[in-house]
Amino acid sequence: MSATRIETWQSPATRPASVGQSIPRKEDGRLLKGQGQFADDVWMHRMGHVHFVRSPYAHAEIVDVDVSKALAVEGVYATLTGEEVRQLTDRYTQIAPEPGGRAKDFAMAVGKVRYQGEPVAAVLAESRELARDAAALVEVEYARLPHVLEAVQAADDESPRVHTEMGSNVGWHGVYDFGDVDWAIERADHVVRIPRLHFHRFSSTPLECNAAVVNWDPGTGTIQIDSNNQMPQFAALFMAPALGVRSDQLMFRSQDIGGAFGLKLTSYTYLTALALLSRKAGRPAKWTEYRHEHLIGSCHGNERTFLDIEVPVMADGEILGFKANAFDDVGAFMRYEPLGGVIFSQVLPGCYRFKHLQVDYKSVVTNKTPVGPNRGYSRLQHLWLVERIVDLVAAELRFDPVELRKRNYIRRDEFPYTTPNGCVYDSGDYHAMLDRALELVDAPRWRAAQQAAEGTGKRIGIGIGSTLDSGTSNFGQARIINKNLPFSGNGEAAICKIDLQGEISVALGTVPQGQSHETTTAQVVADVLGVTPGEVLVRPGADSARNAYVAFSGTYASQFAVTGIGAALGAAERVKADLLTVAAAVLESTPDELLLVGGTVSVEGDEDRALTFAEIANYVYANQGALPPEVADAVTLNHRHVYRAPFGVPDWKSKSGSLTLTYASQIHVCVVEIDEETGQTRILDYSAVDECGTPINPQVVEGQVHGAAAHGIAAALQETLDYDEDGQLLNGTFWDYHVVSCPDTPMFKTDNLPCPSPFTPTGSKGMGEGGGAPLHAVCSALQDALRDTGAVVTDSHNPTERVWRLLNGDERAADGGRGIAVTSR
């Protein structure tokens, strides 16, 4: 891969360098005053309110839907049933090839329901209260079908079929095989075998639920969608063919989004239903999801079960690699899947120099809520596997977990490092990061405390989580799961312009949800144009009519600092070139003699010869006759730029190639204390060392680190989405889904050790998702605390009762053994 720095970035000596400063956020003013505009804040004249009728069953045939009683209620404008959806739309395009691609996926349940909470019918009424009251009058007759709730079981041919037309519940199956793991197992000094590890289902539950107002205007055909969907063009790719409309009829708009974490990406099913209701009733249709609906009916993070893990290890601690069978539970519909089936392979060996890797991966449908790409998507599940492997190898073979990691980490001088599957890790220094993370918690102090705690009823454990946050995906990797998908590369678009009186503005294709894009974009653009960030208006939110975009525009997969910033930077450079062209003509100078300082273009060494941006704008907008024609024709002060990440097309046959551009890394150290009597776990200390290249705004970077750390801790100890035997979600409200609160989280100790990326415009790397480091670190710390009990931490979720059972020897493998075996030569 070639390094593609934009050369102009390096130069201007006069640059006041806003980049690298923790300037206060531009977003904050309105958000702090309650002046943000979120999706539920949008009200339209004549709009109706939607309530969805949802399936009470995990799997059932829909025998009959009778909406007549609801329709008879005064004030009910329209209803919509799955059967109508089937008539009015085409099934959604699937990313999955066959057999997963054969699934019939519509905006609402058609023919049968496949998970509890699936929308079956909808009511549009004059008030939200009335819509809910009337929805209670919709009568649905079901005939229950046998269901399947667990991926390994669902993959069995004898299991009930979630989608009959798929012929199997395995929507996609692929084997990633690099090096020669069987040979490695043969020659290794030790082989550690772990029969089963389970990564649980949870969701980062953005505080704002899904919401939208959709208005299908019959006059123009415009379908105005004011929503908090986080990736509108991606939604349009699915919605336009399903609705049979032009993609440019779908006009997405948003301003502020109350968090998304990947979970507001697949809301297009609901947006489709709202569009149909709006068309039917001839009025805007508004829907704001209740939290209960969000938990049962939007999407969850991927649950993954790993079976038959084998790890060849040499006597000196060199881990040669591993093999594992992964069963990814994607819930009732494939939708964004099986992208998870390739995205994990961006970090196939984790932070390690493993050479022999084999993962047999199945995307399996079950009668549970569909999954969506939750923060750390697909990498965190895999990285958790890798970190469990390293910890269990350390525990079983009595290596020091720190030394074992250092023995196997990729070394600083090996970057750019090409993994066995062809991914190129751009930069990093994992050894230094681990040292720093241990230093931040003063690890020796905790080792002493651990000793001192023995016999007191408390146990202390120290754990490590080393992870990667791969960012800027090469969409060509989609071909690895479906060779017919015509995707490759990645990019982002932005528009930079200077307006009538010299005002600078930027419109982004990204749709941020708290990631501070207005601020960091202003910093970068300000530096290019020689002004302060305060002078750069970055227009918030999505607007299909206003903003530039590419198909994969959006905020996801830790990429903004590369793609979004790259686009804004490029657009600003083009505007700068226009400024220089006009100024050179008017000032009778040449562009290379000119300086941009404080909103003025002046001749270097002769500062009296100068034009303000306002004066230049006046020439371009209102005084073109005064410019030489060749200049007037060449400048616009309004530029769209597309940043293109330097990717080729990966090889779908070998499942290898450069899948992501940057590899931010995080190394976390967690110290836990377990109360032996109850299993209650407290975090006593926590450090998070981050590396994401050159930070544009260090405070913003640190904020993302905190957020990702809290999500991981929450998932490791409190948050889980569990189903009972009937397929009923047991955590359908925030009473049962135990979101972490302020007293539950520690004061994270953070540091950042930048290793600039050689591959990106600013040396920055995408970041923010994190690689689920706290899940790994908490499990690792629990394992350490339990070290003399023989217990094995095999689940990513460890609430008090599970810890208590581990302590009491209750969490045994099916055969009653410890569930882990070592063979040594």
Q: How far apart are CA 264 and CA 257, in angstroms?
A: 10
Show contacts with other proteins in window 406-465 (CB under 8 A). Answer: 440
Q: How many residues bind other proteins (CB under 8 A)?
A: 84
Task: Give 264's contacts (C-beta < 8 A, 6+ positions apart).
Answer: 206, 210, 228, 229, 230, 257, 298, 513
Q: List the one residue from 528, 804, 819, 820 that touches other proteins (CB under 8 A).
A: 804
Residue 624 or 699 having the CB closest to other proteins: 699
Q: How far is the CB of 789 from other proteins (least distance, A)?
A: 17
Show contacts with other proteins in window 280-299 (CB under 8 A). Answer: 288, 290-292
Q: List the one residue from 91, 150, 800, 818 that touches other proteins (CB under 8 A).
A: 800
Dihedral angle sign, alpha carbons of residues 90, 92, 94, 98: negative
Q: How far is the CB of 462 from other proteins (least distance, A)?
A: 17
Q: How far apart are CA 807 and CA 790, in angstroms?
A: 9
Q: How far is the CB of 47 from other proteins (least distance, A)?
A: 12
The helix, strand and coil proportions of the chain, stated in percent and rounded to the nearest 5, come to: 30, 25, 45
Residue 439 or 593 having the CB closest to other proteins: 439
Position of tokens 């689940």? Answer: 795
Q: Which residues of 245-261 are buried (b: 16+ CB within 10 A; e: fewer)?
A: beeebbbbbbbbbbbbb
Q: List the one residue from 706, 787, 812, 818 that touches other proteins (CB under 8 A).
A: 706
Q: How far apart are CA 92 and CA 107, in angstroms?
A: 8
Residue 476 or 768 having the CB closest to other proteins: 768
Check residue 145 for interaction with other proteins (CB under 8 A).
no
Q: How far is the CB of 630 from other proteins (least distance, A)?
A: 45
Q: How far is the CB of 238 from other proteins (least distance, A)?
A: 25
* Segment lying near other proteins (by CB under 8 A), choices 173-181, 410-418, 656-664, 694-702: 694-702
Residue 188 or 803 having the CB closest to other proteins: 803
700 near 22, Cβ under 8 Å? yes
State the distance between the two ends of the chain, measured CA to CA, in whole angstroms: 41
Show contacts with other proteins in window 97-136 (CB under 8 A). Answer: 128-129, 132-133, 136
Cα-based distances in Å from 396 to 305, 313, 598, 666, 820: 21, 11, 63, 25, 9
Show contacts with other proteins in window 12-31 (CB under 8 A). Answer: 22, 24-25, 27-31
Check residue 532 for interaction with other proteins (CB under 8 A).
no
Residue 162 or 716 having the CB closest to other proteins: 716
Show contacts with other proteins in window 576-605 (CB under 8 A). Answer: none
Check residue 725 for interaction with other proteins (CB under 8 A).
no
Show contacts with other proteins in window 487-526 (CB under 8 A). Answer: 513-516
Q: How far is the CB of 52 from other proteins (least distance, A)?
A: 13
Check residue 638 for interaction with other proteins (CB under 8 A).
no
Check residue 539 for interaction with other proteins (CB under 8 A).
no
Residue 325 or 519 having the CB closest to other proteins: 519
DSSP secondary structure letters along 343-397: HGGGGTTTTB---EEEEEEEEEE-SSPPB---TTTTHHHHHHHHHHHHHHHHHHH
Q: List the one residue from 81, 169, 205, 450 that touches other proteins (CB under 8 A).
A: 205
2 burial class (0-12, 13-18, 19+ CB within 10 angstroms)? exposed
* 440, two tokens: 């931040």
Q: How far is the CB of 515 from other proteins (least distance, A)?
A: 7
Q: List the one residue from 99, 259, 373, 509 that touches other proteins (CB under 8 A).
A: 259
Q: List the one residue from 177, 226, 256, 578 that touches other proteins (CB under 8 A).
A: 256
Q: How far is the CB of 554 from other proteins (least distance, A)?
A: 15
Task: Give 269's contacts (C-beta < 8 A, 6+ positions apart).
Answer: 92, 106, 107, 108
Q: List the one residue from 738, 787, 812, 818 that touches other proteins (CB under 8 A).
A: 738
Q: Which of 635, 537, 514 shows the shortest CA–CA distance to 581? A: 635
Residue 312 or 679 having the CB closest to other proteins: 679
Looking only at the bridges linking them, the beta strands covering 285-288 and 48-54 are parallel
Q: List the one residue from 316, 743, 816, 825 that touches other proteins (CB under 8 A).
A: 743
Q: How far apart are CA 392 and CA 97, in angstroms?
A: 36
Spell out where 396-490 has E strands.
Answer: 417-418, 424-425, 458-473
**Which amino acid does the sequence have at 14?**
T
Residue 386 or 440 having the CB closest to other proteins: 440
Q: List the one residue from 722, 756, 787, 812 that touches other proteins (CB under 8 A).
A: 722
Q: Which residues of 312-351 are buried (b: 16+ CB within 10 A; e: fewer)?
A: bbeeebbbbbbbbbbbbbbbbbbbbbbbbbbbbbbbbbbb
Q: List the one residue from 92, 115, 252, 261 that touches other proteins (CB under 8 A).
A: 261
Residue 338 or 712 having the CB closest to other proteins: 712
Show contacts with other proteins in window 28-87 (CB under 8 A). Answer: 28-38, 40-41
Q: How far is the CB of 368 from other proteins (least distance, A)?
A: 15
**Helices (H) then strands (E): counts for the chain:** 22, 29
Q: How far apart are CA 569 and CA 575, in angstroms?
A: 10
